[in-house]
Amino acid sequence: MIKSNETNWYVLYTAPRAEKQVEVRINSMNVKCWLPLHRCPRVWSDRVKLVDVPLFTSYIFVYTNDTILRSLLRVYGVIRIVYYDGKPAIVRQSEIDAIKEFLIKASNHPLCPGEEVEILCGAMKHVSGRIEKIRKHHLILYLEQIGATVCVDLNAVVQVNRIK
């Protein structure tokens, strides 16, 4: 049985696309919370931009006790507490650490020559190519479909993940 004064990591379910605002509101209440974010390219009609997006859509982790956890339901944007087996789901510290380690490893995984990437915008949109060279702000890609080598902005490509 969990005592109400024991602090644990819990999970809150938020309104769609409200995770960042909920994190700010909970932090302003002096409650420790964590929203795991990762960088992801987003394509607009005129540009591509790297944006921090939640790793788990509509979920946020809070480190608190049971009493304060229930009061967080009054925070605008929080929909409900995630339950498991009739009680608020507790996330072990080792699981939080594993997620943090994963995010560090994923963010430090640079593109490498030989990897396949897809162009996200411009005249060559949705064309994939193999990285030949990596420069400071652009890539030299070999496009096998047309047998050409092109120079592409580093932020205008995304790695192609093929399942083998």
Q: What is the pLDDT of residues 84-141, one digit of tens each?
A: 999 999 999 999 999 999 888 877 667 778 888 888 888 888 889 998 988 878 889 9
Class of domain 116-159: mainly beta
Integer Cα distance of 80 and 73 in angstroms: 6
Amino acid (1-letter code) at residue 137:
H
Q: Confidence band (pLDDT; 50, 70, 90) for 29?
A: very high
Q: What is the CATH number of domain 8-107?
A: 3.30.70.940
- For the chain, give every domain's residue range: 8-107, 116-159
Candidates 64, 37, 59, 50; CA nearest to 111 is 50
